[in-house]
Amino acid sequence: MTMHRFALAALAAAALAGCSTTKLDEPAAKAPVETRPAAPTPAPVNTVPESKVQSVDLGAELTKAVADKRVVYFDFDSFVVKDEYRGLVDAHAKRLLQIKTQKLSLEGHADDRGSREYNLALGQKRAEAVAQQLTLAGVPAAQAEPVSFGKERPAVQGTGEAVWAKNRRVEIKDK
């Protein structure tokens, strides 16, 4: 057993010999400290500079934008709104959505070929097609009233394709 104690003491002495000693009386080394000037004080939050942006009456601006764009033309014997006029109808829809009190009359017309009854029905279908486009854009149906004048109010008098093309239309009018 003494041999074990001796081996254990030798092992402990070897372990302690490998450790370095630290003096507790010495002050710890100080890390370098960077000194900076104090940050400027931010401006008070409650002071907002006055805006130089003018307010815009969007409804009036949209009305000006479509003031001279109020006719949708159709192909012969058709009541399908052509792709080239969808932007025009959408512009009127934006205006109606902005000005909730604005109402439109959608006046459907046809050229002078065909019977009076047929052209009244075709003019009504054309006006309803434009009204449907407005409704799809979110406009309440009560803001747009489709009516037909058939061939009774031509935009241009005469015959021939150029004249007939000007008469196949829906006029968008403010009420």
* Average pLDDT over all residues of the chain: 82
* Inside any domain, residue 36: no
Average pLDDT over residues 122-143: 97
* Inside any domain, residue 140: yes
* Inside any domain, residue 24: no
pLDDT at 163 (0 to 100): 95
pLDDT at 102 (0 to 100): 94
Structural domain containing residue 90: 70-174
CATH code of the domain in which 137 resides:
3.30.1330.60
Average pLDDT over residues 163-170: 96
Token pair recorded at residue 72 = 């949708």
Average pLDDT over residues 144-162: 95
Going 121 to 124 to 126 to 129, the CA torsion angle's sign is: negative
* Inside any domain, residue 164: yes
**Pick from 92, 70, 65: nearest CA to 170:** 70
* Inside any domain, residue 35: no
Token pair recorded at residue 170 = 């829906």
pLDDT at 67 (0 to 100): 63
CB atoms closer than 10 angstroms to residue 91 = 15
* Inside any domain, residue 32: no
The model's pLDDT over 65-92, given as tens digits with 9 standing for 90+, comes to 566 689 999 999 999 999 999 999 999 9
Number of domains present in the structure of the chain: 1
* Inside any domain, residue 7: no
* Inside any domain, residue 15: no
Question: Does position 56 have pLDDT exceeding 80, yes or no?
Answer: no
pTM here?
Answer: 0.64
Token pair recorded at residue 93 = 């829809």
**Pick from 28, 143, 54, 155: nearest CA to 94:** 143
pLDDT at 2 (0 to 100): 57
Residue at token pair 């006719």: 71
More confident residue, 86 or 39: 86
Distance, in Å, from the CA atom of 167 to the CA atom of 175, rounded to the nearest integer, reads 22
Distance, in Å, from the CA atom of 31 to the CA atom of 44, rounded to the nearest integer, reads 36
Distance, in Å, from the CA atom of 56 to the CA atom of 150, rounded to the nearest integer, reads 40
Question: Does position 11 have pLDDT exceeding 80, yes or no?
Answer: no
**Pick from 148, 146, 144, 122: nearest CA to 134:** 144
